[in-house]
Structure 1
Amino acid sequence: MSWLVFWLIAQMIAGSHSCLKCSKDAMALKDEFKNEFLERKLRAEPDLKKKLQELVDNTIEGLSHQRIDPEKYMAMIDETTLGILATHFKRSMNRIMENDFEDGQLFNEVNWSLQKLTTTFQEIMPAITKLHCSNECGVMMYVSINCFNCVTRSHSCNKGIYCGERRIQVEMDEDLILDCALRWHKASHGMKMYRFYRVVNGKQQVMTTGKDSFLVKKEANSNDTGRYRCEMLDPEGDPASRLEFHVVVLPPVGKTTWFTRPHITMMEGSLALGVSSRAPPPQEDWTAWIVIGSTGGVLFLVVAGFVFYYRRKNKEDEEEDEEEDKESESESSEMVEM
């Protein structure tokens, strides 16, 4: 049995502390839930109030009594994981306090939320062991919090700052991108800065320093061929990792030319224009025909409208003449009869 196991057992016998207790915000909300919310909500039911208060305390305390397994729980937690755990707890407690649960339903909601808290703790803790010294090279910084006494300590895992060389080929006029980020950089604690250099005759020339882990050089040309270097700086400004880049700018290959400069000759005859073999074939210009067709269509519609109107007018006039003739004949017949 390792010294770590003996130490953990001794800590538990002496009186353990849950990792969640290292979050001041979570503990403040726990006290509000126990001493204010439950006191007000269950004033007439002291037994249920006491049962829920004990359930909250025992669950939080029980987080430190999880199975001792170096791959799952080392009685230590980092700031990010503690923040995730505290956020989950605060969200659950706030949800309960904001809803008007009564008696049995209140007990079920609290019990379910605390069970979920334990499950979340078991799921997020293994990530700590995966992050511990996960850097293949460089100096990784991390901060751990002792779950028993909430003491915070800074650690470093130094594997040498040199992290290899990358060979990059880019075509001329394309963007040159130097990416300095490594997988473990994000997990390393503290503010990180990146510095890029151009190496000329063995001497470093600083190009840029900032939070971005990449450098972009627009429209690379032959002068950009050469050696580059980037460093990730720790919060103290010291190099934590270093990458070398060997950049080669290639001449343009396979570029499609859509337009070429006219080639003027001194020979007699018409002017000859150079045409790219990859240029699209010339297309007929239908613009004039489209204009003529559109104009003719408009004129046809106008003429057809006049003809239709003229014929309709004549037809109405003829009908009026026929009605007048009929009325005249009727009047003549009446005069004869008289």
Structure 2
Amino acid sequence: MPWQVFWLIVHIITGSQGCLKCSNDAMAIKQDFRNRFLAKKLRKEPDLKKKLQHLLDNVVDGLSHTQIHPKKYMAMIDELTLGKIAAHFKRFVNRITENDFKDEQLFNEVTWGLQKLVTAFEQIMPQFTKLVCSNECGTLVYSFINCFSCKTHTYTCTKGVYCGERRLQVEMDEDLILDCALRWHKIYHGVKQYSFFRMVNGKPELMASGADSFLVKKEMNHNDTGRYRCEMLDPKGRPASRLDFQVIVLTPVGKTTWFTRPHLTPLEGPFALGVSSREPPPQEDWTAWIVIAVTGGLLSLVVIAFVLYYRRKNKKDEKEQEQEEEGENEEKGEDEEKGENEEKGENEGKGENEEKGENEESESES
């Protein structure tokens, strides 16, 4: 007998943990795997098929009986944890069906996969048990599934509504963020609503109410110093938790303001942002400065390129003009030289004619 089978039998006899049978999706996958896949793959090995089917039934049914800890595991599970166990089971089945395991190898792979399923639950289940009555204050209402009947129930754990006071300091003209969320609010069953108040003469004045667990109050000034309060309300409108804030507005010291804050028309009531209450306060936005710097750099490059192009063009034009002037001067010099030569020739011809005339005249006189 393989050691994996021995290990599973021990767990089945002593009992395992979980409520996998309460997941309809997991049970549909199990029935298809048991009655179609195993029957087809082991049709020539009927004894091995019955053994695997029996082992699969016992492990899945046995994931409901034994507690992880006598004071923590109470045969119940929440939907989130049940979904995680069902996902492990689906991956186990997919791994078997997508590979061509046969006979003994198939048997070993199935028993090993069931062992991994039980181990996964042993690691996941404590995460759920830690949530049971995990509220330090207030009234926690959570739902759970009974592992035997698979019916959903709700349970209330009350530890007093008041959850203490927080001291906050904010500089003048900055934004105030009141965060009302507590760790156990995320597992609270039912619709939650948050209400924010300003305490005036010991009486609460409503500022805002809605599904957001935080409030942003814009541009604080010294008149906003004081006490604030937030309440988380249950579906019936009753306070499930209450948190007070003592807010002090400080005068900024040594702070340089490069640009004056633009005048904005005040909105009626507070302004709540639709982001997670776990996010840090908004930071300064340098996008405008980046855009200005990039735009200025591009304009500078364009201007420099235009100046260089213009200067280069002027030099080229000047050079061409000089070459043209030199050509004109050379042509003019040639014309003048030619004229002088022609004039000299004319003078020489005229002199010869005059000399010839004189000779003829002297001959006639003779």
Residue aligning to 2:29: 29
Where 2:183 maps in the other structure, the secondary structure is coil
Residue aligning to 1:172: 172
- Tell me by how many angstroms 1:31 deviates: 1.4
In the alignment, is residue 119 of structure 1 matched against residue 134 of structure 2?
Answer: no
Kindly provide the CA deviation profile for residues 70-121 of structure 1, in whole angstroms up to 9, marking residues without a partner as x: 3663322222212211222123223433444443443343223211110111
Residue aligning to 1:93: 93
Instruction: Give yes or no for contact 2:17–2:121 (8 Å, CA) kept in 1.
Output: no
Distance 1:133 1:293, change over 3 A: same
Residue aligning to 1:19: 19
Kindly provide the CA deviation profile for residues 166-215 of structure 1, in whole angstroms up to 9, marking residues without a partner as x: 12111112111000011221133333221212222333332222222111
Larger Rg: 2
Residue aligning to 1:77: 77
TM-score using structure 1 length:
0.68
Instruction: Give yes or no for contact 1:17–1:61 (8 Å, CA) kept in 2.
Output: no
Kindly provide the CA deviation profile for residues 44-74 of structure 1, in whole angstroms up to 9, marking residues without a partner as x: 3323322221221122233335465236633
2:50 and 2:31 map into 1 onto residues whose CA distance is 14
Distance 1:117 1:259, change over 3 A: closer
Output the amino acid matched with 1:119: T
Instruction: Give yes or no for contact 1:197–1:230 (8 Å, CA) kept in 2.
Output: yes
Residue aligning to 1:325: none
2:130 and 2:32 map into 1 onto residues whose CA distance is 35
Instruction: Give yes or no for contact 2:199–2:229 (8 Å, CA) kept in 1.
Output: yes
Instruction: Give yes or no for contact 2:17–2:122 (8 Å, CA) kept in 1.
Output: no
1:100 and 1:306 map into 2 onto residues whose CA distance is 89
- Tell me by how many angstroms 1:240 deviates: 0.7
Residue aligning to 2:256: 256
1:248 and 1:126 map into 2 onto residues whose CA distance is 42
Where 1:154 maps in the other structure, the secondary structure is strand
TM-score using structure 2 length:
0.64
Distance 1:30 1:292, change over 3 A: closer
Residue aligning to 2:311: 296
2:258 and 2:172 map into 1 onto residues whose CA distance is 18
Distance 1:30 1:299, change over 3 A: same
2:259 and 2:183 map into 1 onto residues whose CA distance is 45
Kindly provide the CA deviation profile for residues 249-283 of structure 1, in whole angstroms up to 9, marking residues without a partner as x: 222333213369xxxxxxxxxxxxxxxxxxxxxxx
1:205 and 1:89 map into 2 onto residues whose CA distance is 53
Q: Percent identity?
A: 64
Distance 1:127 1:306, change over 3 A: farther
Output the amino acid matched with 1:132: V
Kindly provide the CA deviation profile for residues 281-314 of structure 1, in whole angstroms up to 9, marking residues without a partner as x: xxxxxx9999866743554466679999xxxxxx
Please list every run of 5 or more consecutive structure 2 residues that lacks an aligned counterpart in the other structure: 1-11, 261-301, 324-366
- Tell me by how many angstroms 1:38 deviates: 2.1
Where 1:143 maps in the other structure, the secondary structure is strand
RMSD: 3.6
1:116 and 1:255 map into 2 onto residues whose CA distance is 60
Distance 1:68 1:203, change over 3 A: closer
Aligned length: 273
Residue aligning to 2:289: none
2:37 and 2:210 map into 1 onto residues whose CA distance is 48
In the alignment, is residue 54 of structure 1 matched against residue 54 of structure 2?
Answer: yes
Distance 1:298 1:243, change over 3 A: farther
Residue aligning to 1:214: 214
Output the amino acid matched with 1:125: M
